[in-house]
Amino acid sequence: QEAHGAPEQTGGRIVLQDIAKPVKQDGWTPLESIEAALQLERTVNQALLDLQGIANRTNDPELTDFIESNYLHEQVDDIKKLGDHVTNLKRVGTGLGEYLFDKKTLS
């Protein structure tokens, strides 16, 4: 929502695309779910970096700053947290380990 006004103010345009459904629909383990979320965050982060690169090449410091200050730092933090969750879920294993991870970490 916030980003919609920025391109219009600078003469740009917004192109929205469909978001594809996940290939796997049910039966996700907690580890698979967190790994899928991590991959999505990495994809979004790369798209933001690409957009920031375009803003740099077209000499648009306002958009560059907007992306960095409103999105990139948060993305990096989220990627770190999800990566830590993946590591911890791999350590604790399935069953009781997943239950305790859920109870202590995500609650």
- Tens digit of each residue's pLDDT (9 = 90 or more) over 7-64: 556 667 777 878 777 676 678 888 999 999 999 999 999 999 999 999 999 999 999 9
The residue range of the domain holding 89 is 29-106
Q: What is the CATH number of the domain that holds 38?
A: 1.20.1260.10
In a domain? residue 71: yes
In a domain? residue 98: yes
Give the containing element (helix H, strand E) for 45. helix 30-57
> What is the structure's pLDDT at 3?
56
Q: How confident is the model at residue 4 (pLDDT cuts 50, 70, 90)?
A: low
The C-alpha angle with vertex 29 and arms to 25 and 35, in degrees rounded to 5, equals: 85
For residue 96 the two structure tokens come to 């009781």
Determine if the pTM surpasses 0.95: no
Q: How confident is the model at residue 2 (pLDDT cuts 50, 70, 90)?
A: low
Does 41 appear as a known binding residue?
yes
In a domain? residue 81: yes
Type of residue numbered 52: Q
Q: How confident is the model at residue 71 (pLDDT cuts 50, 70, 90)?
A: very high
In a domain? residue 45: yes
Work out how many domains the chain is built from and give that number: 1
